[in-house]
Amino acid sequence: MRRVLILFFCAALLLSLSPAIAAEESSVRGTVVDPSGRAIVGARVVLHSAAGDRVAVTDRGGRFAFDEAPAEASLLISAERFKDITLDVTDNRSDVRVVLEAAAVADEITVTAPPPLPVRSSTATKTDTPLRDVPQSVTVITRDVIAQQTMRGIADVVRYVPGIGIAQGEGNRDTPIFRGNSSTSDFFVDGVRDDVQYFRDLYNVERVEALKGPNAMIFGRGGVGGVLNRVTRQAEWTPTRELTLQGGSWGDRRVSGDFGQLLTETVSARVTGVYQQSESYRDGARLDRYGVNPTVAFAIGSNTMLRTGFEYFHDDRTADRGITSFAGRPVATEASTFFGNPDLSNSRANVKVWSSAVDHRFSENDSLRSRLSYGDYDKFYQNVFPGVVDASGTNVSIS
């Protein structure tokens, strides 16, 4: 009888404790929906408790379940494009309904503007003056425009400058026409006169400034119709790496480079170069040119800058005077016909220029600028060209 009473008492005790055990280790189940009641598939549900974190993902019906979860626990529910929510599931564990609110939509838009137009120039007035304050017409062809239009020489530049054209340059030289006035001398490099007659290249040019109108009071002799100033690339304090390869019809090949490097905290170096070789649609015509321009910059104190450089440029080409005319019109012949002797029609220019510049700033508004340039130019030009056609239109005299 005693044994029966003990067994009965133990059974009663187990029955009384079972609800508590079930309460401590019961499952957590629920669904995740949006404000319209639609199930959210793939929502991440994290069960936080003292025993650690457990993770579940909602199924196609938005349902999730955790078996034998601790009595004290919370849920963190997150889904893409919805706000996160945290719920306490200590009391309600069998049918948890989670409604997620839509998160605010933020689109990222990147706007890229074209390069800003130049607003200042130190060439027109020999001072750092805003272009809007310069009492004359100034057009600046920037480095970006030169690269985008693959400009190579002065003829390419003035094509985009209103009021300035280009002549044939029969002496094998750059001959711009400033508002009707042709000139072969109104050229400048960094504000220093460069009036030698040859074809210039843009491989070492940062920008070209075209000034139109009378400028004689500023630039001395010449400058009646305008001037062209080339601003060269100088050693800077940021690395430069640029290599351009070009090719075209009639065996046109060209490579140019621009490389700069900071050597020390106060010394920087930069070198630009070009090599071009090309033939022509005209029989026997050719072009060979190459150049190199190293520059070095020295920071002397915080307010003084010294720059120096040397350029060697060589241009060798066939002097092509075109075709002759008869009875007021060009002679009817193939465009490839070369009138004259291409072997004896040659134009060659060798340019050697050493330059230096010192800039010292006394204050925010006061500065001193000095430019020094020394050049050695060698120009050879010989041309055997067609003369007058005789009355029959069949014979051409050679001059």
- The pLDDT value given to residue 172: 85
- The pLDDT value given to residue 332: 81
pLDDT by residue (tens digit) across 74-107? Answer: 889 999 889 899 988 876 677 888 899 888 766 6
- The pLDDT value given to residue 9: 46
- Tokens at 310, concatenated: 């040397």
Instruction: Please give the chain's pLDDT, 399 residues, in tens.
Output: 455 444 444 444 444 444 444 444 578 888 999 988 889 998 999 988 888 888 999 998 899 988 877 878 888 999 988 989 998 887 667 788 889 988 876 666 676 655 555 556 655 556 666 767 666 778 889 899 999 999 999 999 998 888 898 987 677 889 898 888 888 888 989 888 888 889 999 999 999 988 887 765 566 666 677 888 999 999 998 899 999 999 999 999 999 999 999 999 899 999 999 999 999 999 989 999 999 999 999 999 888 999 999 999 999 999 888 887 777 788 788 889 888 888 888 999 999 999 999 999 888 778 888 999 999 999 998 887 666 666 666 666 655
Distance (Å, whole) CA 293 – CA 256: 11
- Whether 229 and 191 have beta carbons less than 8 Å apart is answered as yes
Secondary structure (H, E, C), the chain: CHHHHHHHHHHHHHHHHHHHHHHHCEEEEEEEECCCCCECCCCEEEEEECCEEEEEECCCCCEEEEEEECCCEEEEEECCCECCEEEECCCCCCCEEEECCECCCCCCCCCCCCCCCCCEECCCCCCCEEHHHCCCEEEEECHHHHHHCCCCEHHHHHCCCCCEEECCCCCCCCCEEECCEECCCCEEECCEECCCCCCCECCCEEEEEEEECCCHHHHCCCCCCEEEEEEECCCCCCCEEEEEEEEECCCEEEEEEEEEEECCCCEEEEEEEEEEEEECCCCCCEEEEEEEEEEEEEEECCCEEEEEEEEEEEEEEECCCCCCEECCEECCCCCCCCCCCCCCCEEEEEEEEEEEEEEEECCCCCEEEEEEEEEEEEEEEECCCEEEECCCCCCEEEC
Task: Label residue 302 exposed, middle or buried (CB < 10 Å: 0-12, 13-18, 19+).
Answer: exposed
**Residue 301 falls in which region: left (phi positive, over 0), alpha (psi -120 to 50) or beta:** left
Q: What is the pTM of this model?
A: 0.65
Q: Cα angle at 139 between 189 and 225, to 5 degrees?
A: 75
Q: Which long-range contacts (CB under 8 A, 24 or more apart) does 77-84 make?
A: 77/32, 77/43, 77/44, 77/45, 77/46, 78/43, 78/44, 78/46, 79/32, 79/40, 79/42, 79/43, 79/44, 80/42, 81/105, 82/34, 82/40, 82/43
- Whether 379 and 348 have beta carbons less than 8 Å apart is answered as yes
Q: Pick the closest to residue 209 from 141, 130, 135 (CA basis).
A: 141
- Tokens at 208, concatenated: 């070209």
